[in-house]
Amino acid sequence: MTYDRNNIFAKILRGEIPCKKIYENEYVLSFHDINPQKKIHALVIPKGSFKDLDDFVQNAKDKEILEFFKAIPHVAKLLKVSSVEGGYRALSNIGENGGQEVPHLHFHIFGGEKVGKMVS
Ligand code: AMP
């Protein structure tokens, strides 16, 4: 499957629909999930057009990969859920069996309370 330019996160990146922004740099955007599953539920997405983690690691530049993975703990710190502030869970759903709904790579950051069972 090729990248779908009309997915909701692509529209957010193009500024066509709004988001509650937490952090942005040249490589990434982070914003609050519209339907939070925990007290804190943020998303971190790369600015490049990658549909999932597999696509990203195969096709992104090393700098994009580095900046993306650095952004996750950076956002956790901004949200005060870092490992020394209670901790958090970062996860990415990949493909149909992984439960991915939006076909643009994203990591969820859950925190602010016990996140609970890893898989249900
Ligand atoms: P996933 O199932 O891993 O693809 O997760 C997609 C996430 O995107 C869900 O947690 C949705 O609540 C979230 N989401 C969908 N539309 C928006 C939006 N416009 N702004 C913020 N989060 C969204």
0.85 surpassed by pTM: yes
Ligand 1 centre to CA of 73 (Å) is 20
- Which domains can be identified in the chain, with CATH numbers? 8-111 (3.30.428.10)
What residues are labeled active site? 106
What pLDDT is recorded for position 119? 86
Task: Quote the pLDDT of residue 1.
Answer: 72
Residue 112 burial class via C-beta count within 10 angstroms: exposed 0-12, middle 13-18, buried 19 and up: middle
119's tokens? 């898989």
DSSP string, 63-77: HHHHHHHHHHHHHHH
pLDDT means per 10 residues, the chain with 120 residues, are 94 98 98 98 98 98 98 98 98 98 98 92
The tokens describing 89, both together, are 């869970």
- The encoded tokens of residue 37 equal 């599953």
Pairing of β 21-24 and β 28-32: antiparallel
Which atom of ligand 1 lies closest to the CA of 100?
4
Does the beta carbon of 94 lie inside 6 Å of ligand 1? no
Find tokens 């996860």 and name the residue.
91
